[in-house]
């Protein structure tokens, strides 16, 4: 058992995803002391809550500690007035008071944030954007989200919506895109998530006559020279460029960092910067577009760092 000072330096992070729940313990210098992963239960909110509680207890048992500071990254966001989750694509979470339920079960204060917020915070603190003040973090995966860090501080916004980029409309749509806007699970038409998420890329590929295959297979086929897959990938890159030009116009961050499964598409970093100045309100854009340094672990590291280290601003 370590002393009280060391315990105060430890932070426990949980990243609640659609298929996995990841947990991590970081020490005062953000080094990993313990980590675990479990499958996200498929049978609703109570099972998910239990799985998070079990994971916290298991991680604390791994290092012989208890009562660690706990941060949790979730899909969607917390409505500030009620503490209830909303807008989560794991829809069993919506309307639930996850933060209060965890606080009651684990007898401690719990900090909750959107998963893209956690990615942005992690990358701004000690990841790919560590050299920059103002960071927009993007998740491109099963869902599409964003998080905003200004002067190394996470900005959640008056309504808890800052960076909520995935459920805005695809900007500068073509007439074909306007004729057949995809319906998003959230009920709106033409959300970025419906166009540029992994399932969005697949749906687009099917619309142009391709097979119903995952985004990574479309990219592989495009790289192997398959014409139809190449066309799907090219249009996807153009849409991502338009979506990011909108971020540059509104926020003009020092850097845009990309996480999520689609962040592994190397064409993002070579092609999008060639296209986005056609849409942003400037002849030339020199914003770095880079992949998250901590990869899959960025979300869970950022969740732990919802509690700043002693050397960081609160
Ligand atoms: Zn939507």
For residues 24 and 109, membership in a common domain is answered with: yes
Give domain status of residue 121, yes or no.
no
For residues 106 and 168, membership in a common domain is answered with: no
What are the DSSP calls for 88-103, one per residue?
A: -SSGGGTT--HHHHHH
Mean pLDDT of the chain: 93
Domains in the chain, number: 2
pLDDT digit string (tens) for 30-79?
Answer: 999 999 999 999 989 999 999 999 999 999 999 999 999 999 999 888 88
> Among candidates 192, 197, 194, which has minimal Cα distance to 182?
194
Strand, helix or coil at 305?
Answer: coil
Question: What's the CA-to-centroid distance between 86 and ligand 1, angstroms?
Answer: 12
pLDDT digit string (tens) for 223-243?
Answer: 999 999 999 999 999 999 999
> Among candidates 52, 21, 70, 2, which has minimal Cα distance to 305?
70
Question: What's the CA-to-centroid distance between 186 and ligand 1, angstroms?
Answer: 4
pLDDT reading at 311 higher than 50: yes
Question: What's the CA-to-centroid distance between 284 and ligand 1, angstroms?
Answer: 30
To which H or E segment does residue 313 belong?
none
Give domain status of residue 122, yes or no.
no
> Among candidates 221, 273, 217, 220, which has minimal Cα distance to 245?
273
What's the N-to-C CA distance of the chain in angstroms?
27
pLDDT at 137: 97
For residues 115 and 120, give the distance between their C-alpha atoms in angstroms, rounded to a whole number.
9
pLDDT reading at 80 higher than 90: no
Cross-strand partners of 257? 137, 290
Q: Write out the residue range of the structural domain in which residue 252 sits.
A: 128-292
For residues 177 and 65, membership in a common domain is answered with: no
Strand, helix or coil at 132?
Answer: coil
pLDDT digit string (tens) for 229-286?
Answer: 999 999 999 999 999 999 999 999 999 999 999 999 999 999 999 999 999 898 889 9
pLDDT at 1: 46
Give domain status of residue 120, yes or no.
no
For residues 160 and 237, membership in a common domain is answered with: yes
Give domain status of residue 240, yes or no.
yes
What CATH number does residue 279 fall under?
3.30.420.40
Give domain status of residue 119, yes or no.
no
For residues 172 and 83, membership in a common domain is answered with: no
pLDDT at 262: 96
For residues 148 and 186, membership in a common domain is answered with: yes
pLDDT digit string (tens) for 143-194?
Answer: 999 999 999 999 999 988 999 999 999 999 999 999 989 999 999 999 999 9
Q: To the nearest 10°, report the CA torsion of 79, 85, 89, 91.
A: -140
For residues 156 and 266, membership in a common domain is answered with: yes
Question: What's the CA-to-centroid distance between 113 and ligand 1, angstroms?
Answer: 19
């Amino acid at each position: 058992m370590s002393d009280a000072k060391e315990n105060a330096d430890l932070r426990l992070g949980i990243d609640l995803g659609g298929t996995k729940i990841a947990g991590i313990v970081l020490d005062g210098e953000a080094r990993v002391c313990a980590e675990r992963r479990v499958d996200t239960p498929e049978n609703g909110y109570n099972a998910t809550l239990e799985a998070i509680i079990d994971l916290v207890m298991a991680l604390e048992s791994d290092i012989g500690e208890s009562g660690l500071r706990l941060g949790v990254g979730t899909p969607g966001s917390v409505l500030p007035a009620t503490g209830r989750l909303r807008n989560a694509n794991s829809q069993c979470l919506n309307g639930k008071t996850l933060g209060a339920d965890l606080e009651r079960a684990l007898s401690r204060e719990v900090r909750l944030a959107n998963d893209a917020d956690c990615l942005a915070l992690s990358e701004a603190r000690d990841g790919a954007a560590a050299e920059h003040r103002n960071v927009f973090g993007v998740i491109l995966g099963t869902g599409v989200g964003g998080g905003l860090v200004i002067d190394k501080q996470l900005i959640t916004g008056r309504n808890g919506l800052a960076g909520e980029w995935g459920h805005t409309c695809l900007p500068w749509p073509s007439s074909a895109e306007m004729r057949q806007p995809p319906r998003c699970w959230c009920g709106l038409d033409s959300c970025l998530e419906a166009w540029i998420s992994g399932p969005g890329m697949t749906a687009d590929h099917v619309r142009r006559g391709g097979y119903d295959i995952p985004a990574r297979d479309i990219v592989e086929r495009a790289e192997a020279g398959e014409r139809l897959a190449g066309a799907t990938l090219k249009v996807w890159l153009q849409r991502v460029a338009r979506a990011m030009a909108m971020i540059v116009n509104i926020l003009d961050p020092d850097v845009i960092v990309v996480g999520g499964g689609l962040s592994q598409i190397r064409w993002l970093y070579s092609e999008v910067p060639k296209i986005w100045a056609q849409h942003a309100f400037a002849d030339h854009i020199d914003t770095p577009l880079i992949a998250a340094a901590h990869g899959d672990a960025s979300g869970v590291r950022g969740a732990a760092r919802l509690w700043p280290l002693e050397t960081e601003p609160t």
